Every structure is written in structure tokens, then in C-alpha cells.
Structure 1
Amino acid sequence: MKTTIEIADPILAEAREVAARERTTLRALVEEGLRAVVAARSERPAFVLEDAAFRGGQGLQPEFEAAGWDELRAAAYEGRGG
């Protein structure tokens, strides 16, 4: 199959040098690299973000139950320059 991709000039020049030194084609070198990357990525498990949600279940502390956003933000940043 034919496709077109853009490759940064420095890496393309280096790849051409490697291909010439190893007496192979740029196509073969690219295919080898793609196979290696695909194989490596299929071997590692998918990343799963840990659930770090806080479930206090009791809502806000009594002194903040009737507070507006400005008051909540001021309390959150108190002493932190915000």
C-alpha cells in the first residue's frame, strides 16, 4: 500500500544514511521501525487513571454550607497568595 507521510528532514537524512550503510531501502527501514513500535505498544497494558475522587458523603463543613463561591475560594487559597 502506498501512503504519504511528512518526516522531519534531520531524521529522514539519518534514516537514509542508516539504510545506505546497512544496504537496505528506506522503505524496509521504516517498516522495521513501525513493526517494532507496534509490537512494543501492543505488549504493554493500557493506561488506566486511578480514581482519586473524594466521596466524603457529608457535604460541606457547617461554616461553609451557606457560603458563596467567593468565600469558598478565599478559604481554599487562604495563606497561599491567591
Structure 2
Amino acid sequence: MKTTFDLPEPLLRDVQALAKQRGTTSKSLVEQALRRLIEEQQGKTFSLPDLSVDGDGLRPEFKDASWETIRDAAYGSPGQ
């Protein structure tokens, strides 16, 4: 598929020089660079570190409690 990109002249000269140095074409060099960039981005998945702690979970009195009840027990009821 053919497409057109406008590149700054200094970048284009660098691409052409590197392609010549490697014995390849500018097209091939740009294609390789784009593939590497896409692969790099696809490999980056967001994950949180495991910060869990040992224990038996909530105390029995909070087992079926709402978040509001747990929060109020920890921080006090609103207005207090």
C-alpha cells in the first residue's frame, strides 16, 4: 500500500544515510522502525504491583458490612 508522509528534511537525510550504510532502502528502514515501535507498545500492558498482605481478611463484624460502615469505623462517622 502506498502512502505519503511529510518528514523534516534533516530526519529524511538521516534515514537515507542510515539506509545506505546498512545496504537497504529508506522504505525498508522506516517499515522496520514502525514495526518495532508497534511491537514495543503492544508489549506494554498496565499492571499494578501485588501489594497484598497476609491475614484472614476483614474482622468478623465487618464481613458483610457496607463500605460506609467500614469507613465510619476506621475514620469516624461524618460530622464527628
Q: TM-score range by the shorter chain?
A: 0.5 to 0.7
Q: 1:22 Cα shift? A: 0.8
Structure 1 runs (4+) deviating above 2 angstroms are none
**RMSD after superposition:** 2.4
Aligned-residue identity in percent = 30
TM-score (norm 1): 0.55
CA distance in 1, matches of 2:8, 2:43: 28
The equivalent of 1:2 in structure 2 is 2
> 2: CA distance between counterparts of 1:38 and 1:8?
22
Look up the match of 2:22: 22
Task: Give, in whole Å, the separation in 2 of the partners of 1:45 and 1:6.
Answer: 31
Superposition TM-score, scaled by structure 2 size? 0.56
Query: For 1:23-66, what per-residue CA distance to the aligned partner results, in whole angstroms no more than 9, with x for missing partners?
Result: 100000000000000000011025xxxxxxxxxxx6xxxxxxxx
SS of residue matched to 1:6: coil
Structure 1: state its 5+ residue gaps: 47-57, 59-82
Query: Which runs of no fewer than 5 residues in structure 2 stay unpaired?
Result: 47-77
CA shift for structure 1 position 8: 1.0
Distance in 2 (CA, whole Å) between partners of 1:6 and 1:45 is 31
Matched, 1:35 2:68: no
**How many residues are aligned here?**
52
